Structure formats: C-alpha cells, structure tokens
Amino acid sequence: MRLSTHIVWLELRRSPSRLVRPAVTLTVLAALAMVLASLVDTLDRRSTGVLRAVEADLVVFNVEARQQVLRSRVPRPATIGVGFVDGVHEVGVLSVVPTTVTHQGDQLRATLVGFNARTPAEPVRVLEGRVPTDGEPNIAAIDAALQRTGIEVGDRIILGGSLEVEVVGVIAEAMFLQQPTVWVPPEVWARTGARAFPERGYAETIVGIGLVEVQVGREPAEVAPDIVTELAEEDLDVEVVALRDALAAVPGVSAIRVTFGGLVALALGVVVLVSAGLALLQVDQDRVRNAELRAIGAGPGVLATTLLLRLAVTWALASAAGAVLAAALAAAVPPAVPLAVRPATLATIAAVLGMAVGVGGAAGLRRVSSIDPAEALGEPW
C-alpha cells in the first residue's frame, strides 16, 4: 500500500495532467448527474413543500377529491370525528387556494394555506418570528421562498387583491405547485377563498384536508381503515392515505418523477458507462509502464492497488469538483430555475459515481494482473 501510494504521489507530482485530465472529464459527468438529480429533487420539493412542512402520519381527503389537496373539501364534522377514532392522537386541518400577494406595489402568485395551529397541520420549521394561531385576525406567516422576494417579518401584504395582513413569521421553504405559500388561520383562508372562488360560497364548515398524527405505538396503516369505517357510519365518505402517498398524488409530481426521473436514470446509466470506460482506458494507457514496473519486480498486487488508488484520487477530485460546479450553477441561475443543491443529493450521486468507477476499475484489475513483464521489451513473447 505504501509503495502504491508513493507511486501515485510521484506521478501526481511528475505529471499531474495524467491524473487531472480524466478527472476533468469525470468532473463534467459528475456535475451533469448532480445537476440533473438536483433538478428532479427541487421540482418535486417545490410541488409538495406544503405537505413536507408538516409532521403528520395520515391525510384525510373527501372521496370525490381523489387525493388532490386543491380539490379536497372535507366537512368539518368529519375532521372532528377523526379525533375520536381509536389510535388517533391529534388531528388538524389544512386548506389551500391559489391567491396573489401584493407587497409594495409588486404582485406575485402564491398559494394561501389555512391551517390549525398546535396541530399536525402546523408547519414544523419556523425560521423567524412565529406562526399565526387560530382566530387571530389579519396576520400571516410566509415561507422562505416568499421571503426571498423581499418580504420581511413586520411587513404588510395584501392577499387576493383585497385583504391586508401583517407578516409575523417565516417558515422553511414550503412551496406548493411551484408557488410560494402564505400561512393563515382557517378563518382568513375561508374569507379569501370565498372571494377567489365564488361558486364554492363562504364555507368555514368545509375544510381542505385533515392531517392526523397517530398515537405512539400505533401503526398508521392500521388506524387509516378505522377512520374510514367510523366516518362512513356518520355518512361521511373519506379517503385516508399515508403522507407519502399524498405527496405522490400532488398534480404533476408523478409526471415529474416518471418523465424527469426516467431521464435522470438514463443519464446516470450513461455516466456509469462513461466512468467505467474511463477507468478501462486508464488501464490501457498505463499498460507499458505497468509492464516496466512488473519487469523490475513490482507484484500484481502493487499494480492493482496503484490502479485503484489512482482511480480513487480521480473519483475524489471529480466528485468534489462536480459538487462545487453544481453548487455554483445553482447559485448562478435565476430563482425561476428549480435548482437547489442538497448535500444528500450530492453525496448520493458521488457514491453512485464511485461505484461506477469501481466497476470499471474491477474490470481493469483483470487486465492489470495479466500484464506480461516481457511487454516492457517491446515485443510480446
């Protein structure tokens, strides 16, 4: 191992381009994979942020909504009834409606979220200030995406062109269908929604979805059918699904996952292929020198370790540089481009890339072990 490290170190000092050049190619591929994976991840999160912002085990929809948060209209008695089902710890309601936010003369699109404070419907991560509590008039919290447009705690904004509210807090980014969100008490949501959708009428007795937290030790999958059965006895038809299923049902999410995810998988396949090819080319390139090393006494183990070490250095350089490139691109693109880089995504891609290089290296090891020291003399014996 020491000898291999020494050989790689000397090579890096003597002719860094031999190591750096394949690393540059691999860097571009790593950056490609990281950017693509981050695009899918960001598109997904910006569509489903509202549901990711809460900590609930189950989501209650009315049956006709077919798991669509925007369309769901659960009668208030149903959400109250859920609270009495065995195994349910707590229930809250959350409702959404498209709206506009006007701030200092600028108007932009947003999603208005009505929620019950101190329930599973309350957003978990508050970055600044506080979230409104039920019954508080004319106050709101905004998500970090809306804060980036210049709105701060203490500012006054106009919702739906008519209702002025004061911003009292900022929560972590919780976008819905690519729009930033404004979080208000249920009464404010009902008033604004009635103005936006007059055909639905003013209905505080109708809420969007119910968010359920089950008791410790109970399985959400066991509690869900009980909720449906108990509410059916009251002639209330609801559908209860796990939060993960509700996320997948958000409009566009499955299309993003199928289409974009499929293309990213294809891209990753290509990256794996190219990475493995690069590793094999490296072996071919070093064939003569490896024969010379074998001729002067280096064992196949040393050559194999040297190859793997060199590939590891190439991979580490490429992964680090690819991550820096992806992060730099994410910082440089306009906010409209859904590209936010998360360390977990970068680490996953780096690991996949490492495996690809490893596969190529493994194939290269066979070739290394078959190198004939006589090749150093110029002619095969």
Partner 1 sequence: MGAVRTLAVGQLRRAPMRTAAVAGVLGALISLVVVFGVVGDAQIRGLSGALAANDADLWVLASGAQGALSASRVEPALLGTVSAVEGVARVAPIGEVSVGVRIEGGALVDASLWGIDPGSPAAPPVIDGSPASDQDQAVVDGADAYLGAVPGARLELVALPATLHIVGLTEGRRFASIPTITIPYTRWVEIVDALNPDSDEVFPTAFAVELEPAADPNEVAATISVAAPTLVAAPPGALAAELPGIDGLRSSFGTAALVALVAVAAVSASFPRLQVEQELRVSASIRAIGASPRVLARAHQLRVALLVLLGAILAAVLIGLAELLSPPRIPITLEVRALLTVTLATWAAAALAARRGLKALRALDPADILRAPA
Report the site for partner 1 in 200-239 (rule: CB under 8 A): 200-201, 203
Contact status: 267 vs partner 1 (CB under 8 A): yes
Stretch that binds partner 1, among 86-94, 118-126, 171-179, 214-222 (CB under 8 A): 171-179
Task: Please give the residues from 127 up to 156 whose contact with partner 1 meets the rule CB under 8 A.
Answer: none
Task: Please give the residues from 32 up to 71 whose contact with partner 1 meets the rule CB under 8 A.
Answer: 32, 35-36, 39, 43, 46-47, 64, 66, 68, 70-71
Q: Which is nearer to partner 1, 201 or 217 (CB)?
A: 201
Distance CA 69, CA 227 (A): 18
Distance CA 231, CA 88 (A): 13
Among 11, 126, 292, 309, which residue sits at the site for partner 1 (rule: CB under 8 A)?
A: 292
DSSP string over 169-186: EEES---BTTB-EEEE-H
Name the minimum Å distance from CB 13 to partner 1: 19
Name the minimum Å distance from CB 294 to partner 1: 13
Among 80, 328, 331, 333, which residue sits at the site for partner 1 (rule: CB under 8 A)?
A: 333
Q: Which is nearer to partner 1, 47 or 119 (CB)?
A: 47
Stretch that binds partner 1, among 79-87, 220-228, 272-280, 341-349 (CB under 8 A): 272-280
Q: Which is nearer to partner 1, 118 or 287 (CB)?
A: 287
- 64: its two tokens: 């006709």
Amino acid identity of residue 306, one-letter, is T
Q: Convert residues 72-101 into a mask of x (bound to partner 1 by CB under 8 A) and - (unbound).
A: -------------------------xxxx-
Name the minimum Å distance from CB 352 to partner 1: 15
- 65: its two tokens: 């909504």
Stretch that binds partner 1, among 25-33, 48-56, 227-235, 307-315 (CB under 8 A): 25-33
Name the minimum Å distance from CB 184 to partner 1: 16
Distance CA 154, CA 199 (A): 34
Among 252, 299, 301, 347, which residue sits at the site for partner 1 (rule: CB under 8 A)?
A: 252
Task: Please give the residues from 334 up to 353 whose contact with partner 1 meets the rule CB under 8 A.
Answer: 334, 336-339
- 171: its two tokens: 């929560």
Q: Total residues contacting partner 1 (rule CB under 8 A)?
A: 71
Measured from the Cβ of residue 199, the count of other Cβ atoms closer than 10 Å reads: 4
What is the β-pairing status of strands 126-129 and 181-184? unpaired
Contact 358, 350 (CB under 8 A): no
Distance CA 45, CA 47 (A): 5
What are the helix (H) ranges across 53-155?
A: 76-82, 144-147
Measured from the Cβ of residue 97, the count of other Cβ atoms closer than 10 Å reads: 21
Contact 159, 112 (CB under 8 A): yes
Measured from the Cβ of residue 263, the count of other Cβ atoms closer than 10 Å reads: 13
